Amino acid sequence: MNGCSEDQEKRSPKEIISFGAGPSKVPRLIRDRVQTGIMNFKNTGLSILETGHRSKEFTQLMDSCRARIRRLFSIPDNYQVLFLQGGATGQFDAIPMNLFGNRGVTKADYLVTGSWSHNAAKEARKYGAVKEVCTRVEGFTELPNRMTWHLDPEAAYLYYCDNETINGIEFNEVPQTHLDVPIVCDMSSNLFSRPVDIARYGLIIAGSQKNLGCPGLTIVIIRNDLIGNELTGTPGILSYRIQAANASVYNTPPTFTAYVVDEMLNWIESEGGLQEMARRTKAKSDAVYKAIDSSDGFYKCPAAKKDRSRLNIVLHLSDRSLESKWLEEATHQGFVGMSGHRSVGGIRISLYNAITMEDVNCVLNFMSEFKRKYS
């Protein structure tokens, strides 16, 4: 028996559900569609695995991805959508390389609010001056008070991570900075989980392995005026100018990942778009946090309530020695990928778009039963 109710169990008695922080669960519908493309992509007789990246069919696929993203976010005409590689980690270098030439300065403001923004600031220091504009909170369990931020009006950009997957905290609004300072945001784990006003940003990055299926593509949404200012020596593969000029096929892109991303974007549109994704995400996270908060202290969430992530719920058991048992029994029930990041331990339940409310209810039933057995 898994952690679902009897009715839920009848629908998917042997299904393994991945609540991992990435790669994420992919909807069954998309998995079925992808199998077709592996055997015969667009009726070409070729597998997507064999399809050339400069073929007409793949060019149409990339154009479709761009068009869907532009449509979902209503992206203004003065922005480019690029498909790169290397994930956010690669962008930790690409961003300062491309933007430290902006406004003729090589300095930037960084909001260090968790492990990923810390890593981004560390990499950026190789290329110029990085100012941490807020005091770090011990354990990164909440966002620093905005009244304590010290922003530089002459910075090349302000960088922040919208959702810290390791620490389980998320911004609920766009940080305010000086008018001429572009905002750069790592939305690797929460892009496509809610509407975003793209015009408020200079640059947004996101990996495909969270809300868009399998890993391999890095989505970059960038305002045109920020392209073309890269530092001397910036590698072509990391240059936004060169990638834009080559329609993101400066090198051979991961063709299979692009195919999955296009199918996922189509799925998001057909399911009701970003407003619907936001509604579902809130319902799922609200249910899990309610279970934690009403457990009489058996389950504990270290993140401040005002800053809790909707996508990555970090929790501990009051008896930390039971956490390995919890994870073991969860795996036995068919729930995988819920170990906390190695740097913080504990348990992490990730609720990306493909996770359904039914999946969440299954886990909640398991959590309740585990508490009954061990409290």
Q: From the candidates 116, 267, 326, 359, give the one annotated as an active-site residue.
A: 116
Give the C-alpha separation, 333 to 331, whole Å.
Answer: 5
Diameter of the chain by CA atoms?
A: 64
For 201, the token pair is 């940003």
> Is 116 a known active-site residue?
yes
* Burial class of residue 242 in the structure, from the number of CB atoms within 10 Å of its CB (0-12 exposed, 13-18 middle, 19+ buried): middle
Q: From the candidates 186, 262, 307, 359, give the one annotated as an active-site residue.
A: 186
Which one-letter amino acid corresponds to residue 167? Answer: N
CB-side exposure of 316: number of CA atoms within 13 Å? 11
> Is 126 a known active-site residue?
no
Give the C-alpha separation, 294 to 209, whole Å.
Answer: 32
Q: What b/e string do you get for 162-200 counting C-beta neighbours within 10 Å, with b at 16 or more?
A: bbbbbbbbbbeeebebeeebbbbbbbbbbbbbbebebee
Using only C-alpha atoms, what is the Rg of the chain?
Answer: 21
Q: From the candidates 210, 267, 307, 326, give the one annotated as an active-site residue.
A: 210
Spatial CB neighbours of 290, under 8 Å, sequence gap ≥ 6 = none
Per-residue pLDDT of the chain (375 residues; tens, 9 = 90+): 455 643 343 445 568 999 999 999 999 999 999 999 999 999 999 999 999 999 999 999 999 999 999 999 999 999 999 999 999 999 999 999 999 988 889 999 999 999 999 999 999 999 999 999 997 888 899 999 988 899 999 999 999 999 999 999 999 999 999 989 999 999 999 999 999 999 999 999 999 999 998 999 999 999 999 999 999 999 999 999 999 999 999 999 999 999 999 999 999 999 999 999 999 999 999 999 999 999 999 999 999 999 999 999 999 999 999 999 999 999 999 999 999 998 899 999 999 999 999 999 999 999 999 999 998
pTM: 0.94
Residue with tokens 């007409």: 56
